[in-house]
Amino acid sequence: MNAVVAPESSLARVRSQVLDAAGIADHDLERALGALMRGTVDNADLYFQVSRQESWTLEDGIVKEGAHSIEQGVGVRAMSGEKTGFAYSDELVVPALLQASAAASAIVRQGQQGRVQAWQPRSGHRLYAPIDPLPTLTDDDKVALLQRIDSEVRALDPRVKQVVASLAAAHEVILVCASDGAMAADVRPLVRFNISVIVEQGDKREQGYAGGGGRFGYEYFTPEQVLEYGREAVRQAVVNLDAVPAPSGEMVVVLGPGWPGVLLHEAIGHGLEGDFNRKGTSAFTGRVGERVASDLCTVVDDGTLPNRRGSLNVDDEGTPTRNTVLIENGILRGYLQDKMNARLMGTESTGNGRRQSFAHTPMPRMTNTYMLAGPHHPDEIIASVKKGVYARNFGGGQVDITSGKFVFSATEAYRIENGKLGAPIRDATLVGDGPTVLNRVSMVGNDLALDTGIGVCGKEGQSVPVGVGQPTLRIDGLTIGGTGGDE
Amino acid sequence: MSTRTALSLENGVVSLQEKVNDALRLARQLGASQAEANASFGTGFSVNVRLREVETLRHQRDQGLGVTVWLGHRKGSASTSDLRPEAIEESVRKACALARYGAEDPASGLADADKLAKSIPELSLYHPWAIDPAAAIELATTCEAAALDFDPRVTNSEGASVSTSESLRVYGNSHGFLGSYPESDHSISCSVVAAQDGAMETDYEYAVARDAADLPGPAEVGAEAGRRTVARLGGTKLETCNAPVLFPARVARGLIGHLLSAISGGALYRKSSFLVDTLGKPVFASRVTIDEKPHLLKALASAPFDDEGVATTERRLVDAGVLGGYLLGSYYARKLGMQSTGNSGGAHNLVVHSTGETFADLLRTMDRGLVIADLMGSGVNPVTGDYSRGASGFWVENGQIQYPVTEITIAGNLKDMFQGILGIGSDVDRRGAVLTGSILLEQMTIGGS
Ligand SMILES: [Zn+2]
């Protein structure tokens, strides 16, 4: 699926699409960066973005609405020590660019104009084809796909009473040029399919949800693929019809493979982002080289997986993404960095500088975060538990970086009794402590799986697409919060 | 229709109205039977000061136009942040093209013409703040200093922020409605870190107002951030138990927020709500009464009309525990065989009546139980009302706070929780769409070690 396009020609194409169309020439970029590089400014950058998105939603068996949006603009940033000045404009014209540069540079007192390095085009990876995914299916076929899945899902089980399905695509073109000479462009396709169903049995009602996607065109959503999402949504809803209240208290918890890797994202990932560690506000601050997990655990953040939702050819500062080892056999190895925090911590960017859009400032963010496979068969892991909980699917999670406390909500979970799966249990929240939870990992499965391409990570009001993954894990003690009482 | 203008956004009003009219005209020319357009413009800045030094200065300037067209009862929408005529034209064409692929849906269309706002009440929502970044930096510095100096255990900071923004929204539709009003929002916030015995805790405090004159002093905000943070130090886990739980006003807003999602038209129509078919039935304890007051002067969720131009009106939403209405826009109102309640886009100031007690009174009534400081995670099932979230807070014995607790869960079902409300404090938090005092619940399951 990876069309091979030389990055230089990709940069040239994006330049003409974004800059030439707006009448912005090289000397305008130099002028804008020159205006930013005043006084004590260490680094400055311009981030151009042109994106188009569409979504199609089906409810009641009909496509109720198609929606389309265009977003474009330029974000302008000047950094001096720990200071950042930022402004943006949603008009892509030279005067607006210069005005934004003047506003952003007000963070430092005026001084001599600094030096802007000669631009060196950065060749990023070629992890996905530089395509516009919106026209990869005709509008008629998008509508037909949604209608077909609606009738197929209703036919799966007569208890299905409501189906809401949606199809969405984004075509994002970005170009970043910085005073340190970085100049890079990226064309980022992203597609997504979601389905949620409501099932009814007697007076009980439950909801099930599934979906997936990644950086490719709509052709990924073959009839078989879409039906698989539909089956999964119905299966989850039906399982929960028979769910009993979850227990509460501390228990042995086995987490399933794939999306439950949201545990790593919350418990570990956020706490290892460079900004919190530079400021000393993370529970992981100053702990590189220390044991933070059992020696079965190796956790990475890998932005270089082909076609994944969390992958990027270059990050939003023009740095190629990497595979960064966060925890190696239980020992904390490093943090996720953007340029500013790397500079202040005396290290280099790991290609994790990401932003929601031109109207937001970059921060260290995760890409695809997962734990490598271990030696145990998943059946062996469940069989090892006398009494506990098996959590197979999750809603979302949240973490307090400073105290290290995190939560995540199970949407499909079962009791384990004498090594066997028992009754499904109702929605239960699991809480734990990031710096200690992985020390309690006593078994790691050989079944590493990544999620289906549904992750959205929120930080300081900015959302970015991410991926997570893990093999089956046994954790010897995590607090679970249900209404079923302590046992 | 009414076109109140305001000084610094004045040019904006005229130009946005023209853009809305242009979009509606073009939609008609392209064969739309109905159309609506929404244009907005906003501007402002924020500063963040960390450890007594300026950290960020962010200038903000947003604009956008969204258009929805109907060909018969088939709907298409498009939006753009580029407001040049050619971009608007492209959006209208795109919306029309998308509508051709939509299915005929008799409930789909503009709000009924007789429901649209006929006059636009002055709600005092626009009070520009004549402040420059240098002065904002000074306020933020004072705010953070009060937090850092509150207690020697406050050792680090995420910083203090001051932000100001003003915006203008114009909504028009092919019934001939054209309404607009300017708004402002200003805020001060502070978040610090405290440490004790090698463990760190963080918390924050914030203030937000339409009029900067209504903001508390920056030192007051900072000191409260310091107090909240230090209070969390030394938290322990609890034994798993059942006990009463007190949601302080700040957290209680979220509890009532779950009501709002459950009685919104879409959730009810899709039956993805635990309150399906509860109109006229007791969903709360009889001591609970809630009004919706869209026209409160200067309030954060006040609005003269909703997202469809429908006039907003004051009403009693919950009367002595009995649910008196839903939150409906036109589409789901038609689907449910009802009328729009002027809630396309959400609720406008839900005022929960206090049962008269102070926070201290509620603590005494509770005697022994949990006061929530902070909730984490999204563990609420909208279909069943099952509720399970991570929490930290304070353990109470003999009506007095004893010690902080952390890494626990609280669980219950929202139906039982709403019925189990024992009291609503007079300590109203006005910083959002729900205005409520602290809420005491009879019992929840607390998960600990
Ligand atoms: Zn996240």
Going from the Cα of A270 to the center of ligand 1, the distance in angstroms, rounded, reads 6
Q: Amino acid identity, residue A471?
A: P
Helix (H) or strand (E) segment spanning residue A10: helix A7-14
List of chain A residues whose C-beta atoms are within 8 Å of the C-beta of residue B101: 56, 63, 66, 139-140, 142-143
Out of B56, B102, B447, name the one closest to residue A479 (CB): B447
Asked if B254 and B388 sit in the same domain, the reply is yes
What is the distance in angstroms between the Cα of A453 and the nearest Cα belonging to chain B? 20
Instruction: Give the number of residues written for chain B.
Output: 449
Asked if B157 and B224 sit in the same domain, the reply is yes
Q: Are B178 and B35 in contact (CB under 8 A)?
A: no
Asked if B224 and B269 sit in the same domain, the reply is no
List of chain A residues whose C-beta atoms are within 8 Å of the C-beta of residue B103: 62-64
pTM above 0.90, yes or no: yes
Asked if B220 and B240 sit in the same domain, the reply is no
Average pLDDT of chain B to the nearest whole number: 94
Q: Are A267 and A473 in contact (CB under 8 A)?
A: no
Asked if B256 and B363 sit in the same domain, the reply is yes
Task: Look at B10-24, B63-77, B422-436 and tell me which has the smallest mean pLDDT.
Answer: B10-24
Asked if B326 and B365 sit in the same domain, the reply is yes
Report percent pLDDT > 70 for chain B: 98
Q: Where does a domain end: B207, B231, B255? A: B231
Q: Please name the residues in contact with B155: beta carbons below 8 A apart, sequence gap of 6 or more.
A: B193, B194, B195, B200
Going from the Cα of B388 to the center of ligand 1, the distance in angstroms, rounded, reads 20
> What local confidence, expressed as pLDDT, does residue A41 receive?
87
Q: CB distance A207–B94 less than 8 Å?
A: no
Structural domain containing residue B63:
3-231
Q: What is the pLDDT of residues B225-257, one digit of tens each?
A: 999 999 999 999 999 999 999 999 999 999 999
CA neighbor of A388 nearest in space, from A355, A333, A328, A428:
A428
Q: Where does a domain end: B214, B231, B248? A: B231
Residue that the structure tokens 């995670």 belong to:
B377
For residue B32, what is the domain's CATH number?
3.30.2290.10
The pair of three-digit structure tokens given for residue B146, joined into one six-digit string: 């009060």
CB-count exposure of residue B227 (10 Å: 0-12, 13-18, 19+): middle
Distance in angstroms (rounded) separating the CA atoms of residues A485 and B447: 8
A99 and chain B in contact, CB less than 8 A: no
DSSP SS3 for B285: coil
Q: Rounded to whole angstroms, what are the CA distances from A357 to A89, A94, A278, A464, B287?
A: 12, 19, 24, 9, 47
Buried b (16+ CB within 10 A) or exposed e, A262-291: bbbbbbbbbbbbbbbbbbebbbbbebeeee
Please state the rounded mean pLDDT for residues B95-109.
Answer: 93
Q: What is the pLDDT of residues B361-375, one digit of tens each?
A: 999 999 999 999 999
Restricting to A residues 239-258, those with a Cβ less than 8 Å away from any Cβ of B are 246, 248-250
Asked if B343 and B315 sit in the same domain, the reply is yes
Q: CB distance A481–B379 less than 8 Å?
A: yes
Going from the Cα of A74 to the center of ligand 1, the distance in angstroms, rounded, reads 25
A355 and chain B in contact, CB less than 8 A: no
Q: CB distance A479–B376 less than 8 Å?
A: no
Report percent pLDDT > 90 for chain B: 93
Asked if B240 and B186 sit in the same domain, the reply is no
Q: Are A128 and A216 in contact (CB under 8 A)?
A: yes
Distance in angstroms (rounded) separating the CA atoms of residues A483 and B443: 11
Distance in angstroms (rounded) separating the CA atoms of residues A30 and A26: 6
Best of B245, B376, B441 to mutate (most A CBs within 10 Å, chain A): B376
Distance in angstroms (rounded) separating the CA atoms of residues B48 and B162: 7
Q: Amino acid identity, residue A337?
A: Q
A202 and chain B in contact, CB less than 8 A: no
Asked if B254 and B241 sit in the same domain, the reply is yes
- B51: nearest CA in chain A? A279
> What local confidence, expressed as pLDDT, does residue A121 receive?
79
DSSP output for B120-136 = -------------HHHH
Asked if B441 and B401 sit in the same domain, the reply is yes
What is the distance in angstroms between the Cα of B404 and the nearest Cα belonging to chain A? 13
A479 and chain B in contact, CB less than 8 A: yes
CA neighbor of A66 nearest in space, from A144, A155, A142:
A142
Q: What is the pLDDT of residues A347-400, one digit of tens each?
A: 999 999 999 999 999 999 999 999 999 999 999 999 999 999 999 998 888 899
Where do runs of H (alpha helix) occur along A72-195? 94-105, 139-156
Q: Please name the residues in contact with B25: beta carbons below 8 A apart, sequence gap of 6 or more.
A: none
Q: Which residues of chain A have pLDDT under 70?
A: 1-9, 109-115, 485-487
Split at pLDDT 50, 70, 90, the class of B12 is confident
What is the distance in angstroms between the Cα of A432 and the nearest Cα belonging to chain B? 6
A223 CB neighbour count, 10 Å cutoff: 11
A63 and chain B in contact, CB less than 8 A: yes
CB-count exposure of residue B293 (10 Å: 0-12, 13-18, 19+): middle
Going from the Cα of A413 to the center of ligand 1, the distance in angstroms, rounded, reads 22
Q: CB distance A246–B388 less than 8 Å?
A: yes
Asked if B441 and B353 sit in the same domain, the reply is yes
Q: Where does a domain end: B231, B257, B273? A: B231
What is the distance in angstroms between the Cα of B229 and the nearest Cα belonging to chain A? 11
Asked if B177 and B325 sit in the same domain, the reply is no
Q: Are B147 and B222 in contact (CB under 8 A)?
A: yes
CA neighbor of A269 nearest in space, from A194, A179, A365:
A365
The pair of three-digit structure tokens given for residue B180, joined into one six-digit string: 């607009």
Q: Amino acid identity, residue A76?
A: V
DSSP SS3 for A57: strand
Q: CB distance A107–B56 less than 8 Å?
A: yes
Angle in degrees, 0-180, between the axes of helices A223-241 and A139-156, rounded to the nearest 10: 40
Helix (H) or strand (E) segment spanning residue A450: strand A449-450
Distance in angstroms (rounded) separating the CA atoms of residues B355 and B363: 14
Going from the Cα of A339 to the center of ligand 1, the distance in angstroms, rounded, reads 20
DSSP SS3 for A435: helix
A102 and chain B in contact, CB less than 8 A: no
> What local confidence, expressed as pLDDT, does residue B49 receive?
97
A361 and chain B in contact, CB less than 8 A: yes
* ipTM score over 0.95, yes or no: no
Question: How many domains would you assign to chain B?
Answer: 2
Out of A66, A87, A431, name the one closest to residue B409 (CB): A431
DSSP SS3 for B179: strand
Task: Look at B11-20, B184-193, B203-212 and tell me which has the smallest mean pLDDT.
Answer: B11-20
Q: What is the pLDDT of residues B297-339, one digit of tens each?
A: 999 999 999 999 999 999 999 999 999 999 999 999 999 999 9
Strands in B152-273 per DSSP E: 154-173, 178-196, 199-209, 241-247
